[in-house]
Amino acid sequence: KQSFSELKQRAYKNIDDRKKTVAGDPYRLHFHIMPLVGLLNDPNGFVFYKGKYHMFYQWNPFQTEHGAKFWGHAVSDDLVHWEEAPIALAPDQDYDKNGCYSGSAVVFMEKLYVFYTGNVKNEHGKRESYQCLAVSEDGIHFEKKGPVIHVPGGYTAHFRDPKVFEKDGQWYMVLGAQTENEQGEAVVYTSSDLENWSFQGALAGSGHNGLKDFGYMWECPDLFELNGHEILVVCPQGLSPKGFEYNNIFQSGYFTGKVDYEKVSFEHRNFVELDRGFDFYAPQTTEDASGRRILVGWMGNADDGESTHPTIKYEWIHALTLPRELQWKEGKLLQHPVEELQLLREDEIQHTGVVVSEEAVVLPRVNGQVFELEIAIKNLAAASFSVEIGEKSTFHYDAKAQVCTFQRGAFSGNSVESRHCVLESLQNIRIFKDTSSIEIFINNGEEVFTSRVFEDPAIERVYFFAKDGHVTMDVQKWSIRRVT
């Protein structure tokens, strides 16, 4: 075991030693949160505190592999310009020595209360899990208060990722859990002072509310209200692929319905995936001062080809997604890139009334490696419509089959791979392309495809084409200023 200052010093030394290597990577992103070195995974403790947005993240500063996680920290005034802050938490205690795992933050009496999972592998190699509290008065320095919750009877040590929120003068915590029968659940605790917590039971899970065999473990739950609808975001592990669904190693999605806080039950509808792309997991939301519900996810997924990422040889891996504002509209959860992203726009280009058919259309100055592209479909009178981006990435809409597809080049070898979703009509597409990522928002955020892409950076073209007919569209394109 090492002290906080020893661990911090080692981490900062590693950042220093590898600075040049990391900076030399052409795939280093321009407008996403990334680790300075090593591996980043889940967003944690996302909160608006004393006038600033705070984003923490799971971080192994020593390797591009998972390990004893730290909480890295970035601070922002506007959700797009992020400044790296000192390391917030390091695995320096007996109860968190194998990782300060994921968790959340709330503001209480002007202090920042941070809850996280202390991950321990004991001397017999067995996992232990403690839900821990740390408190800060400035949002930068944290004082660890130790475990506030131990694993209750009936559950395994896969018990983690506390998300705390306040409702009607009471504190609630939802946690990801695995029962002794290896069923995934989201369980609830309550507290009046954030220090003493009492177990209330399972809110949802495999074996509840008509769900059967719905994962052996649920990670990173988040429960909030949107326009009078209760939404439980959760990441089940162990779902098998089913048609277009559940094709990534672990899933991330939500249930909507009605929570009964007295009875601790949740009458909900079917699970819906939040993102249709290759690289999205463990999202977390917060409510900001203006009441917006904002979500950020990990632009990655555990074990999903991590060892084949080309960034590994540059000593870093993974990033966070862009922040998205959530809205509930006409029975649908919509995800919009936060409007502050417009601050990064440069060099606007517009083309209106562009007609696209069989022959590929290239528009003047609509190209690049890093850009935002908005396509408004004015008329779709074709069997399909495609946008080709760079070397191998393609957005494709099959109007007959009502299927949307994103395709990218595989991380190694020459093959391509794709993900799909059903979409009844195509109205608009908004694409955020960074050096090695792409986020595609369709029909005002009805569907989103998020993926890393490692393709030839020299190929900067954007092609449009349609099959069996024509498509009329308006196109707007901006360059995006580098802020990393």
Residues identified as active-site: 42
d(CA 176, CA 165) in angstroms, rounded, equals 15
> Under the criterion CB under 6 A, does residue 439 sit at the interface with ligand FRU?
no
Q: Please report whether residue 302 would count as binding ligand FRU according to CB under 6 A.
A: yes
Nearest distance from residue 59's CB to ligand FRU, in Å? 9
- Our finding on whether 161 is near ligand FRU (CB under 6 A) is yes
How near is the Cβ of 176 to ligand FRU at its closest, in Å? 6
Nearer to ligand FRU, 251 or 479 (CB): 251
CB of 162 to ligand FRU, least distance (A): 10
- CB nearer to ligand FRU: give 161 or 372: 161
| 302 three-class SS | coil
Determine if 163 is a binding residue for ligand FRU (CB under 6 A). Answer: no
Using rule CB under 6 A, residue 429 touches ligand FRU: no
Residues 324 to 383 in contact with ligand FRU, rule: CB under 6 A: none
Q: For residues 91-110, which are near ligand FRU according to CB under 6 A?
A: 101-102
Query: Tokens standing for 182?
Result: 């290896």
The amino acid at residue 71 is W
∠ CA(250), CA(254), CA(255), 5° rounding? 130
Site residues (CB under 6 A) for ligand FRU, limited to 203-222: 219-220
Chosen residue from 30, 32, 54, 160 binding ligand FRU by CB under 6 A: 160
- By beta-carbon proximity to ligand FRU, the closer residue of 215 and 390 is 215
Between 39 and 370, name the residue whose CB sits nearer to ligand FRU: 39
Give the position of tokens 């009492």.
198
Number of residues that bind ligand FRU (CB under 6 A): 14
Using the rule CB under 6 A, which residue among 58, 286, 367, 443 binds ligand FRU? 58
Q: Could you please report the per-residue DSSP string of 341-374?
A: GGGGEEEEEEEEEEEE-SSPB--TT---SSEEEE
Residue 129 or 393: the one with the smaller Cβ distance to ligand FRU is 129
- What does each C-alpha distance from 253 to 26, 200, 271, 424 come to in angstroms? 32, 23, 6, 20
- Alpha-carbon gap, residue 347 to 61, rounded angstroms: 36
Minimum distance from CB of 421 to ligand FRU (Å)? 23
Give every CB contact of residue 305 below 8 A, 6+ residues apart in sequence: 411
Tokens 């403790």 belong to 45
Q: How far is the CB of 247 from ligand FRU (least distance, A)?
A: 18
Residues numbered 108-137 forming contacts with ligand FRU, rule: CB under 6 A: 117
Rounded least distance, CB 217 to ligand FRU, Å:
8
CB within 8 A of 201, min separation 6: which ones?
187, 188, 264
DSSP 115-179: EEEEEEE-TTS-EEEEEEEEEESSSS--EEEEEEEEPPTTEEEEEEEEEEEEETTEEEEEEEEEE
- Among residues 6 and 303, whose Cβ is nearest to ligand FRU? 303
Q: Which is nearer to ligand FRU, 179 or 479 (CB)?
A: 179
Pick out residues in 15-44 that bind ligand FRU (CB under 6 A). Answer: 41-42
Q: Rounded distance, CA 161 to CA 44, Å?
A: 9
Q: Cβ distance 394 to 407 under 8 Å? A: yes
What DSSP assignment string belongs to 369-435?
A: SSEEEEEEEEEEESSEEEEEETTTEEEEEETTTTEEEEEEE-SSSS-EEEEEEE-S---EEEEEEET
Residue numbers of the site for ligand FRU (CB under 6 A)?
41-42, 58, 69, 101-102, 117, 160-161, 219-220, 281-282, 302
